[in-house]
A and B are shown apart, each in its own frame.
Chain A
Amino acid sequence: MKAYRTTQTALRALRRNPMRATLTTLGIIIGVAAVIAMMEIGSGSSAAIQKTIASMGANNLMIHPGTAASGGVSFGAGSVMTLTPDDSEAVARECPAVRSATSVVRVRTQVVYGNKNWVPLFIYGVDPAYLDVRDWTNMAEGEAFTDRDVRNANKVCLLGQTIVRELFEGRSPIGKEVRIKNVAFKVTGVLSAKGANMMGMDQDDIVLAPWTAIKYRVAGTSASTVNQSSAASSSSGVNTLNKLYPSSGASLYPVPSETQAADTPQPVRFTNVDEILAAAKSTAEIPLAIKQITELLRQRHRIHPGEPEDFSIRDMTEMTKALSSTTGLMTNLLLCVALISLVVGGVGIMNIMLVSVTERTHEIGLRMAVGAQARDILRQFLVEAVVLCLIGGALGILVGHGGSYLVKFFLHWPIKTSPGAIIAAVLVSAGVGIIFGYYPAWKASRLDPIEALRYE
C-alpha cells in the first residue's frame, strides 16, 4: 500500500514539472534511440557485408575427383573420374548443412558470334543451381536456364558481361546464337557483373550452359577437359548429340527386344563430371558440411573404412577467415557504440536527477517535516528515475526505429530489426534508471530536514 502511494507521489511529482521530466527523458531517449538505430543499421550493414563476402564464394566447397597414380607417377588432382551428376544431386538432397550443389563440366574453347571470336576464361557446364551456389541469381538481362534444359541438353547459355562486351559490343545478346565449337547456343540471359575473384581472374569472362549440353555436345570427343584419361572417356561412346546433322545417322542394327536386353545387361552408362560445387548454409556450417559430404560420398562410392577417399573437398579458408573476422569486428563495433550511447544517456539522467535533488531540497525537507522517512524519499526519487527511463526507453525505441527507417528510405541502406536489441534496450534503460538514479535518490534521502528546510 505504501509502495503504491510512493509510486503515485513520484508520478505526481513528475507531472508537476513536465519540462524537467522531458529533459531528463531526453537523455535516455537519445541513448536508447542511438542503440536501436545503431543496432538496426549496423546489423543490416553487417549482414550486407557478409552477404557480399559470401557472394565471392566464401561458403563454397569444391569437390574434386581423386588422384590417379600409375607406377608411382601421380597424375595430379582430378585425374580419375569418380564424381557423377547423381553425387551432386545426392549432396544437395541429403546433406542438411549444404544449401545447394551443382555439377561442373569445364571446357576451354573458342566462342564465335558473327565475325568476332573470343576464348572465355571459363566455359562451364552446370546445373541451374550454380547461380544459387555462387550467389549470382541476379540476372542483368533475360533469365537463367532450367532443370528441363539440363535434362534435354538444350543448347542454351548465359553470358558474362565481358563476353557481351567482346562479342556483342554492348548490344543485347538475348535470343542471339553464339557458336561454341561449331555448336550453336541460344543466349537466354546475361549475368550481372561480378568483377575479379581473389586471384585477379575476371569472373565475368564466363559462359554458362547446361552441363549435359557442354558434356555431350561440346566436350565429347574433343578431350578438351583437363582430365588425363578423358581420351578414354565413356562419353565418347554416346556423343551422338554432337553431330551437326543428327538425322543422317541411320541405325545399322535392329533394336534389341526387351527379352534380349534383359538377357544381356549393358553396363550402366557412367557419366562423370569434372567437379561438384556446393555451398554451405553458413560460414559456421562449413566444417559440418564437409563432414556430411565426406560421409555421403564414401557411402555412395562404397569406400570401406580405412581406405583412402577417391575425391577431395576444398573450402575457401582464406575467404572464410576474412568473413568471420569481419563479422566479429562489426559485432564488437556495434557493442561499443551501444554501450557508449547508454552510458552517455545514463550520465545525463544522473546529472539531471542530481540537479533535481538540489533544486528540490526544499520539497524534500518539507516532505521529511511532515513525516516522510528516508526510505520514502529514496523510493520516490528512484521510482521517478525508473519511470523516466522506461518512458524514455519506449520513446527511444520508436525514435531509433523511425530513424533507421528514414536511413533505409532515403539512403537505401539495409537495416535489420532485432527484437533482441529492443528487449535489451528496455531492460538496460530500466537498469540505467536504477543504477544512475540511485545515487541522487540516496543523496536526497540523507538530507537533514532542518538543513533542507533552511536551504535557499
Chain B
Amino acid sequence: MQLIELKDIYKTYYIGELAVPVLKGVSLDIAGGELVALMGASGSGKSTLMNILGCLDHSTSGEYWLDGREVSRLSADERAFVRNQKVGFVFQNFNLLPRTSALENVMLPLAYTAEHLPDREARQRATEMLDRVGLGDRFHHEPSQLSGGEQQRVAIARALVNRPSIVFADEPTGNLDSHTSEEVLRMFQQLNEEQGITVILVTHDANIAHYARRIIHISDGIIDNGAMSGHHQSEAAKAGGVK
C-alpha cells in the first residue's frame, strides 16, 4: 500500500465570481521511504499541491489517501491533528519563533500532541533531535544568534520531533547560500536513507531536484510525466512510479 495516494485532485480558487482552477486532475502515488522532488515553475500549482498533501488545505474534489485514511474531507481540527501526528514542515524562511531558544522551538509541536507527554520527556526528545541535526551545543541560542543553515537545521529538528512519516520541505534552501544548501540537502538524503522518512522536496530549481531519487514535474496544474529524466524514471518505476 502506498503512503500517499492522490486520485483526480482538483483545486479551484474563487476570486469573487471568477473561478481560477489551479489543480486540474492530479493523481499520484508516493510509497513510504521515498525521497521525492516536486518540481515546477512558479504558478504551476506546486505550492497548492504541497498544501493539500500537507493537510493544510483541502481539495475541491478528488480523493486523498494518507497512510490508509481518506483525509480530503476532514474538518480543520482533524486536519490539525493529522499534521501534528504524521507530517513535518520545513519552510523556506525557517519560521522559527523569535526570541525563543532552539530547544523550545523544537518542542513546539509537542505542545499540541494529544498524547500525555511530561515536560521532561518532551525536553529530552527535543534535545535528541537537535543532537541529530548537529546542533548539540546550541540548545539555548535564539534564532537571531544562529546562522541561516543552523536555523534551518533547528526547523528540521522541529519537523522531526513528533516522529512523522512524511517531511515536506518547501524550498528549504531558498534563503541559504550554495554551500549550506548542500549541507541541508545532504541531511535530507541522510534522514531518508538512515531513518526511512519520506521526504518531499518542493522546488523550482532543477539542481536541487537532482538530490531526490524521483522527480515529479508539475506544470499548469497537471502532473507532467515526461519531465522525468531516464535515470530517475527507472528508479521511480521500481519504487511504484507515477501514474
The reply to whether the CB of B228 lies closer than 8 angstroms to some CB of chain A is no
Which of B98, B99, B104, B158 has a CB less than 8 Å from the CB of A370?
A: B158
The reply to whether the CB of B100 lies closer than 8 angstroms to some CB of chain A is yes
- Interface with A: B76-84, B128-136, B182-190, B193-201, which one? B76-84
A367-B76 in contact (CB<8A): no
Among A370, A372, A373, A374, residue most surrounded by chain B Cβ atoms (within 10 Å): A370
B100-A370 in contact (CB<8A): no
- Interface with A: B18-26, B105-113, B172-180, B215-223, which one? B105-113
Interface residue ranges of B79-134 to A (CB < 8 Å): 80-81, 83-85, 89, 91, 95, 97-100, 104, 108-109, 111-114, 116
The reply to whether the CB of A16 lies closer than 8 angstroms to some CB of chain B is yes
Check A363/B97 contact, CB under 8 A, given A369-B56, A449-B56: yes
For the complex, count residues of A whose C-beta is within 8 A of B.
26
**Closest CB of chain B to A455's CB: distance in Å?**
11
The reply to whether the CB of B57 lies closer than 8 angstroms to some CB of chain A is yes
Q: List 17 A-B contacts (CB under 8 A).
A: A1-B116, A2-B114, A9-B111, A12-B100, A12-B104, A16-B99, A17-B99, A366-B95, A369-B54, A369-B83, A370-B109, A371-B83, A372-B80, A373-B80, A450-B51, A453-B56, A453-B95
Question: Measured between alpha carbons, how far is A374 from B78 in the docked complex, in Å?
Answer: 10
**Using a CB–CB distance below 8 Å, which chain B residues touch chain A?**
51, 54, 56-57, 76-77, 80-81, 83-85, 89, 91, 95, 97-100, 104, 108-109, 111-114, 116, 158, 162
B99-A367 in contact (CB<8A): no
Check A376/B89 contact, CB under 8 A, given A16-B99, A370-B158, A371-B83: no
**Closest CB of chain B to A290's CB: distance in Å?**
69
Q: Mark A2-35, 1 if CB is under 8 A from B, else 0.
A: 1001101100100011000000000000000000
The reply to whether the CB of A362 lies closer than 8 angstroms to some CB of chain B is yes
- Nearest B residue to A380, CB-CB: B111
- Nearest B residue to A360, CB-CB: B97
Q: Across the interface, which residues of B come within 8 angstroms of A376, CB to CB?
A: 112
Q: Across the interface, which residues of B come within 8 angstroms of A453, CB to CB?
A: 56, 91, 95
The reply to whether the CB of A368 lies closer than 8 angstroms to some CB of chain B is yes
Check A450/B112 contact, CB under 8 A, given A16-B97, A368-B80: no
Q: Across the interface, which residues of B come within 8 angstroms of A366, CB to CB?
A: 95, 97, 108
**Closest CB of chain B to A380's CB: distance in Å?**
9
**Closest CB of chain B to A55's CB: distance in Å?**
61
